[in-house]
Structure 1
Amino acid sequence: MPNLSVRRQCQLLQLSRSGVYRPQSEVAANDLALMRGIDELHLELPFYGSRRMTFELNDAGHAVNRKHVQRLMRMMGIVALVPRPGTSHRRPGTRSTPICCVAWRSPSPTMCGRATNTPKTLLAGGQL
């Protein structure tokens, strides 16, 4: 079979060129050693993120920066066990009552709305 360009191969197979990827390169030996260290630290201290993990690896004798540790942690699928943003939101499908309706209840049916919009005589209990 003659050498066909990737473009022509994709045309023949009716694939888009953006869907064709080159094979991933092999992981270097020093990266494997770092990944083993990251994995051991994560098992021992699962709440450490990339910053603290970098300090621990440098103390253990590995010369590594935070970006490299982040990339390796991302490759391994390791994330720190910390509270994530959005944990205080309510579940979907639950109803909520606005705080203004819960905190201030009108003593009479004629008074409705916010307390700042009512005449002062009504708030004081007087007549108009």
Structure 2
Amino acid sequence: MDTIAPGHHLYPGPDGAWRYSTPDERFVRVQGPHEQLESMARHLAGERSPAVSAASRDEDFATLARNLRDLGVIVTHTSETGAHNPSTPTSPTAPQTVHIDGTGPVAVAVAALLDAEPTLA
């Protein structure tokens, strides 16, 4: 089973272009059809809808997955490694922690947007 590598993210930017980011804060634009990249992101998040399953059988989808795997963005877990539990939440709705560093107006606005307790450091 493929999943996004720890510390990596695959997402559409505000301009509509898809990117991936790495743990060392590199941001790389990914070229390809929007629908295919969206299906890839949904697949990596653990979605198993008929549309995502159909897209994952496409040859171009397999090429995209192979390229992202070669770049270290995707990791493949097998049942032998025990590294992946399908019941583990991997979707964007899984609980997340955001650390806001600072006390300026941007930090306050981000805390408000996240509906967080504004305990700023």
TM range (shorter): under 0.3
Greater helix fraction, Structure 1 or Structure 2: 1
In our comparison, the structure showing a higher alpha carbon Rg is 1
Instruction: Please report the TM-score for the alignment, with normalisation by the length of structure 1.
Output: 0.26
Higher strand share: 2
